[in-house]
């Protein structure tokens, strides 16, 4: 299978890479662009560890081909902080201990950002429902929800 060149706009910067057309966005981010903040939990759309924003909407980056996302604005966990200043959702996760082992955290935070921005965080129950695709093996859900609640309020 041939390798082709593609350009992805990630965290405000155009990045050109060479990969097979079948490479997922997650693999392109992690392996071609060395943005390893997005995690590979299941690689099948079932854990949410790979969540990124594409044109402001969250997606599981393991379920979409990199090549399909050319021309779109991709935001990963690496793109949230402004220099040393954490994004409010990152700061809220720190404040509320929204992680234990931390593996799911980048995906939780990206999903939380979209949850608030799209208005799905009006109640804790609604937040939990909307973020139910983001699994946490440590069971930190109450703290994750508390972090999202703080940013939403
Ligand atoms: Fe994409 Fe699990 S790695 S949903």
Please name each of the domains of the chain with its CATH number: 4-79 (3.10.20.30), 88-152 (1.10.150.120)
Q: Is 133 in the pocket of ligand 1 (CB under 6 A)?
A: no
Atom 4 of ligand 1: nearest residue by CA position: 45
> Does residue 88 have a pLDDT over 90?
yes
Ligand 1 centroid – CA 62 distance (Å): 6
Assign 116 a pLDDT band (cuts: 50, 70, 90).
Answer: very high
Mean pLDDT of all residues belonging to the chain:
97
> Does residue 62 have a pLDDT over 90?
yes
pTM of whole model > 0.80? Answer: yes
- CA dihedral angle for residue 140, residue 142, residue 145, residue 151, rounded to 10 degrees: -100
> Does residue 2 have a pLDDT over 90?
no
Best of 30, 31, 46, 65 for a ligand 1 pocket test (most atoms within 8 Å of beta carbon):
46
Best of 44, 108, 137 for a ligand 1 pocket test (most atoms within 8 Å of beta carbon):
44
> Does residue 70 have a pLDDT over 70?
yes
**Closest-lying ligand 1 atom to the alpha carbon of residue 133:** 4
Q: What was the pLDDT predicted at 1?
A: 63
ipTM surpasses cut 0.90: yes
Express each pLDDT in 5-59 by its tens digit: 999 999 999 999 999 999 999 999 999 999 999 999 999 999 999 999 999 999 9
């Amino acid at each position: 299978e041939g390798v082709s060149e593609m350009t992805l706009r990630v965290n405000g910067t155009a990045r050109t890479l060479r990969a097979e057309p079948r490479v997922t966005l997650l693999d392109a981010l992690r392996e071609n662009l060395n943005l390893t903040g997005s995690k590979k939990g299941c690689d099948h759309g079932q854990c949410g560890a790979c969540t990124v924003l594409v044109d402001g909407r969250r997606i599981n980056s393991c379920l979409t081909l990199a090549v399909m996302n050319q021309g779109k604005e991709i935001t990963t966990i690496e793109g949230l902080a402004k220099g040393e200043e954490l994004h409010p959702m990152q700061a809220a996760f720190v404040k509320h201990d929204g992680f234990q082992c931390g593996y799911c955290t980048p995906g939780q935070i990206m999903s939380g950002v979209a949850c608030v921005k799209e208005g799905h965080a009006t109640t804790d129950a609604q937040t939990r429902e909307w973020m139910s695709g983001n699994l946490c093996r440590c069971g930190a859900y109450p703290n994750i929800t508390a972090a999202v609640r703080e940013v939403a309020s």
